[in-house]
Structures are given as structure tokens and as C-alpha cells.
Structure 1
Amino acid sequence: MKQLVRAFIAVFLVSMGLLYILNELNSSEGYSGGNTLTIYNWGDYIDPDLIEKFEKQSGLKVIYQTFDSNEAMMTKIKQGGTTFDIAVPSEYAIAKMKEEDLLIPIDHTQLPNLPFINSRFMDLSFDPKNEYSIPYFWGTVGIVYNSEMLGGKKLSSWADLWDKDLRNQILLVDGAREVMGMGLNSLHYSLNDTDKNHLLEAKEKLDTLTPNVKAIVGDEIKMLIANEEAAVGVVWSGDAAEIMWENEKLDYVVPKEGSNLWFDNMVIPKTAKNINGAHQFMNFILDPKNAAQNAEYVGYSTPNEKAMDFLPEDISSDKRFYPDPELTDKLEVYENLGKKMLAYYNELFLEFKMHSK
């Protein structure tokens, strides 16, 4: 009898151990469902206090994971090993995810705060009627620069970057669409150009910029420019806002030849396990006070019109980050170029990176 009891206890303990391990794996690998909500977002792209506030209000535990590119995000969602209830892709990635049947339609009736979104940011070409995506942040690609380090010089165009006085003074973001787009725009071509002759021309022009390029970098671009390791950076607007907060000598401009107008939206991946929780979180972020808090923390522009009332005036009135429609209407949204053309953009960008070393 004692042997049976010991055997039972041993089996019980092993079972409990396995359950504990499974629970740990579930929480660390992004298990969704029940009282858990798994969010897949860009790094440093939400105020952590809002996650805590949402957990208290909803009773859900949030598992927050990050990615550093749309491509990495899509690959992980396609693989399906980890399930995510919410992801935050950019516009061209949303179009691609729709095309590949990776998204669940969003129930607008569960989003009473949706009308607070400015109509300018709804019903866009990558997702008509916002059937699969809800606006999160938006912004531009432009030039942040330290006029003092440039002897008082002001920049206003992509062409200015080729000035010989900027030798070894430019940092570029490590993004094929952004850098190739800069080359295309400098020649007055579209950001979404698929003419290979135009793309080669843009790449050849970028090659002539290499004496001025100090490095092509990732997130460290913010620290390097704020610390005056370089005078100029080609960055996203929200990064520019963060850098300028650190160093008041800096300014930001959207080049007159044109640039990118981008949108990051919340979506529900097809593998989501907590669809109700995903809608709860979306509606929470759409609350104007929460949206304002998030925008102030992250530095990017909120599409939430009512949230503007809760932002400090020096932020809401700053035309560099909240430009008028007259400017944004002239900018281009990245289109889904398809696998082959995107691969060609990446190939040319890698060649340029090698040339820049």
C-alpha cells in the first residue's frame, strides 16, 4: 500500500511539474486565450503605464512581444508557432497580410471609440473601410539636423544631403524602402517606382552620397544624433521628435521633393485566440486620453482627433509632426510591391550598404 501511495505521489508531482513547465512556456512564448492577451508591436512603441492600466481595467494579463521589421513580424505570424491577438504592421504589410489571408475582420460595433479617429486616416487604399485594421500612429520620413554643427545652414531638400560640406556627417536608417525612396525622390521619381532603370539610377545616385554617409544604423541613430556624433540623420518623424527632446539644437524637415507618409495600424492575426480581448484593447487605445498619453510617451503622431485636446499645445501645434493636409496630400504611402520587386529593392540597398562601408 505504501508503495502504491509513493507511486501515486511521484506521478502527481511529475504531473504538477509538467503543468508548471507548460504554464511557463505558454506565458513566455505568447500563449493567447482565456485571461491572456498577446500583443506583437514595434519596440518602445507604447507607454508601459497603459499596459498596466489596461490589465487593471480588463482583468487580462498582457504578454507583450516586439519586432524590428514588418518582414520579421509577417514571417513569425505565418509560421504560426506563436499566436498573437494583436499586431501593429505598417500599411504595405497590411495589404500583403490581407492578400495572404493572415487577418481577421474587425467588428466595428465593439469599438465605440472609433469615431474619435480623424477621417483623414480612415478608409485608405491599403484597407478600404478599415475592415482589417485600426489606426495606431502615423508620421513621415524626413531629415533631422543640427544647424549649429553645419555652421548655421538649414536643410530643406534631399538634394541638400549631397553638399560636400556634409562629408562624414550623415546617418541613415537601416531600411531599404526609406533609403531607396530617398534616392528615388531626389530624382523626382515615385517611392513606389517599379521601373528597374529608375531604380538603378537611384542606386547610382545614392552611391555618390557615400562620402557624406557616416553609417547606416538601427535604433542607435537616436542616441548618436542627440549626442552630436553626426550632424544629419534620415529618420522617421517620431524618432526625430525623441531626438529633438534630448537635444534642442536639432530641427526636422520633410524634404520638398516629397517623402513617405506612413501608417501603423492595429490588426487581429488569423491565429488569434482572444478576439474579444483584442477588441477591448483596441477600444482602450482609441480612448482619447489614452491615445494622447501614448502619443506623448512614444513621440509619434496620433490619428485620434479628440486626443489632440489632451496633448500639450507645444506638441499638438507643431507642424513638423502634425503637418497640414496640404503637405501630407503631396506625400506617398508605401505600396505592396510584391515579393520580386521588394527583393530587388533589398538587393540594390544591400549593394549600396556595401559601397558605403
Structure 2
Amino acid sequence: MKKLLAAIIALIAVIAGLIAWNHQLTAKQSTTSATKTLVIYNWGDYIDPSLIKKFEKQTGYQVDYETFDSNEAMLTKIEQGGTRYDLVVPSEYTIQRMKKEHLIQPLNLREIPNMKYLAPQFLNQNFDPHNKYSVPYFWGTLGIIYNDQLVKNPPKHWTDLWKPEYRNQEMLYDSARDMMAIALITQGHSVNTTNTGELQAAEQKLRGLSGNTKAVVADEMKMYMKQDEAAIGITYSGDAAEMMAVNHHLHYVVPSEGSNIWYDNFVIPKSAKNVKAANAFINFMLEPKNAAQNAKYVGYATPNQGAMKYLDKSVTNNKAFYPDKQTMKHLQVYRDLPKKVNQEYNDLFLEFKMFVK
């Protein structure tokens, strides 16, 4: 009986040892898998998929790629915690908020030597002095797209949108900051104003557009404009490039009196598990040929001066997408506003949309 008991105890010890060994092996495999995986959170259709495959082949990393459709949606998800993202691509005012909330970590720029290819004017911006937290990815503008078959007198300025001849012909973008910015610019105010009187006056100005508004839309605008279903739209430069590639009757203009210029940037979340892979990917995307290939695919302007020689001059010389210095002087960057003011923008824009309906 004692021998049987001893045998059972020995067997239990062996089984326990095997279980412990298996747990160690699983943990080791999990750690190895994590160090070879890069998790990216980016805007939809905002990178050439073949570049991801190229990066994986060159480095041995496996890329998990997820997308979001707005800065606000992305920010909310990261604020809630529990995410596994190693690399995220927010816009400038969102980077300011993420810095304030300690959601992103400082970069080790020595691990990103290809920063040398970025044009100086896109570095050291007010939203991130000395690029301590962010690396430029793409930039662009807010402007007007129009169809030369449907518009006799093309709009060149924001105030043109109020012309009676455009009645029921305009597609407005469903964005409080963008549409309020247009009204603010026409009234000589900053797109970052926190003055309640100026904001209320801007909403009243927008109401004057109600008769010219065909619809307030988001990504659907691309379909409408491509298919000649609207004469004029408010859109972003990259979306305009995509539309124009399909419909050659479309043209894009950035009003010379001013507009929004935006910057999307790579940042590394505080909770990132694979900072080494994130740095490697940023550096890979800054290689001039890779940056040029990505710009051709996405359609937005690249901040990478090394990539410019690989792009068609018909693109780089197009002032609609690479505005001249005079126009650039009047472009304004959105700043992160207090939550109370952001809510005021949203509420006033909602009032305008209800008025349009």
C-alpha cells in the first residue's frame, strides 16, 4: 500500500512538473509572439497595403492593422484603456489632448534616423515642439471641389458658397470644426476661437447656406461627386484627389483667404508593448521611395522632401495639393480646445443641421 501511495505521489509530481513546464513554454511563446507583432491603429484606407507586406518581409515582424474613422473615436478607445496598440496616427489637435492626458510616450529619435528626410516646415510644430512625441505622416487642406459640367462660375472663395446661383447644389461635410471654421474665416475670426459671440455669429452665417445645401454628408460625398450627383462639395485634399482621379470634370481649390491645414502624425501610446517594432516601422515609412509610394496610393501630400523626386511633377506642382507660400501663410491649424468649447461647436453645428432639415 505504501508503495502504491508513493507511486501515486510521484506521478502527481511528474504531472505537476509537466503542467508547470507547459505554462512556462506557453508564456515564452506568447512573449516571443508579442515581440514579433506590431499593432497599428490608423485611419481607414490610409496606407498602401503592399508596404505593410514589404515591411513584414524585410523585418520579420507580423503587423496587425486596425482602423478608426475619427480622432474622437480613436481617442475614446485609448482613454478607456486595455488597448494593445503600438502605433497610432492622430491629427495635431488630438496629439495635444493625448499629451495632456499622458496617453503617449516620448520618442527615441535616434531610433528613427530617416527623420532627416522630412521637410523642416513640418517639424517643430506648436502642437509638438521639437517632435518629442510625434513624427509627420501626411498633411493636407480643407477646400472646395466642384464639377465644371454643373457649375458655370467656379467658386474660388468661401464667400462664393453663399451665391444664390448655387441653390441646392452643395454637399457640406459633416464636421463641426470644419464647417464652423469656414463661417469663422468669412467673418475674419480664428478657427480656434473660444468666443461665444463669434461662434454664435458663425452659426447664423452658416444658416445662410441652408438654401444652397443639398445634403450634409461624410464619406458618401466621394460617391456623389464622382457620379455627377452634386455640383460643389466641401472636402479634404486627399479625398479630392481620389474623386478627381475618377471624374476629370472635378477640380479642387483652396481659398486664398485661408483654410485649415492639418497634420497626421505617428505617435506611440504609453501602453505600447513593442516600441522597437514601432520605431522600425516609422523609420521604414520615412524611406523616400516608400513615402512616395504611399503618397501615390493615399493621395495626400507628403511631408517627406526626399520623396518628392519620386512623385510626378504634375502632382507636386499642383497648388491645390501643395499650396504656394502665399496661400500657406493664411492656413490655420486646429488647436485642442477645452471640452466645454468643443461642446459649444458641436451644439451650434447641430442647430445648423436641424435648421437645414
Indicate if the aligned counterparts of 1:122 and 1:130 stay in contact, CA closer than 8 A.
yes
Number of the residue aligned with 1:339: 339
- The residue number in structure 2 matching 1:129 is 130
Q: Does 1:183 align with 2:188?
A: no
Within 5 Å, which residues of 2 pair with 1:171-210? 171-210=171-210
Q: C-alpha separation between the residues in 1 aligned to 2:329 and 2:132?
A: 23
Please report how far the alpha carbon of residue 347 of structure 1 lies from its aligned counterpart in structure 2 after TM superposition.
0.8
Counterpart Cα distance in 1 of 2:102 and 2:34: 21
The answer for the alignment partner of 2:120 in structure 1 is 119
Distance 1:191 1:127 in 2: 19
Pair 1:253-2:253 in alignment: yes
Question: What stretches of structure 2 of length at least 5 have no aligned partner?
Answer: 1-10
- 3-state DSSP class of the match of 1:38? strand
Specify the SS of the correspondent of 2:259.
Answer: coil
Q: CA deviation at 1:268?
A: 0.3
Q: Cα offset for 1:166?
A: 1.0
> Cα distance, 1:66 vs. partner?
0.8
Offset from partner CA, 1:94-152 (integer Å, 9 cap, x none)? 0111111111111110111101000000000000000000000001100000122012x
Q: Secondary structure at the match of 1:148?
A: coil
1:250 Cα deviation (Å)? 1.1
Q: Distance in 1 between matches of 2:166 and 2:324?
A: 30
**What SS does the corresponding residue of 1:293 show, helix, strand or coil?**
helix
Amino acid at match of 1:75: T
Contact 1:188/1:257 (<8 A) preserved = no
- Pairing 1:1-357 to 2, within 5 Å after superposition: 33-151=34-152, 153-357=153-357
TM-score of the two chains, using structure 1 as the length reference: 0.90
Query: Aligned pair count?
Result: 339
Note the C-alpha offset of 1:291. Answer: 0.4
Larger Cα Rg: Structure 1 or Structure 2?
Answer: 2
How many Å apart are 1:256 and its aligned residue? 2.8
Identity over aligned residues, as a percent?
A: 52
In the TM superposition, residue 93 of structure 1 has moved relative to its aligned partner by 0.4
CA distance in 2, matches of 1:33, 1:334: 36
Greater Cα shift, 320-329 or 39-48? 320-329
Residue by residue over 1:5-59, the C-alpha shift from the partner in whole angstroms, topping out at 9 and shown as x without a partner, is xxx9xxx9xx99xx8xxx9xx9xxxxx9311111111111101111111111111
The residue number in structure 2 matching 1:29 is none
Deviation, 1:188, is: 1.6
Instruction: Give the TM-score, by structure 2 length.
Output: 0.90
Following TM superposition, the consecutive aligned residue runs of length 4 or more in structure 1 with deviations greater than 6 angstroms are: none
Asked whether the equivalents of residues 104 and 270 of structure 2 are also in contact (C-alpha less than 8 Å), the reply is yes
1:182-230: CA deviations, max 9, x gaps?
A: 1111212111111111100100111110111111111111111111110
Structure 1 CA distance for aligned equivalents of residues 84 and 349 of structure 2? 32
Contiguous gaps of at least 5 residues in structure 1:
27-31
Rounded to whole Å, the distance in 2 between the matches of 1:79 and 1:230 is 40
CA contact (8 A) 2:138 2:302 kept: yes
Deviation (angstroms), 1:324: 2.1
The aligned residue for residue 7 of structure 2 is none
Q: Which amino acid aligns with 1:136?
A: Y
C-alpha RMSD of the superposition: 2.3
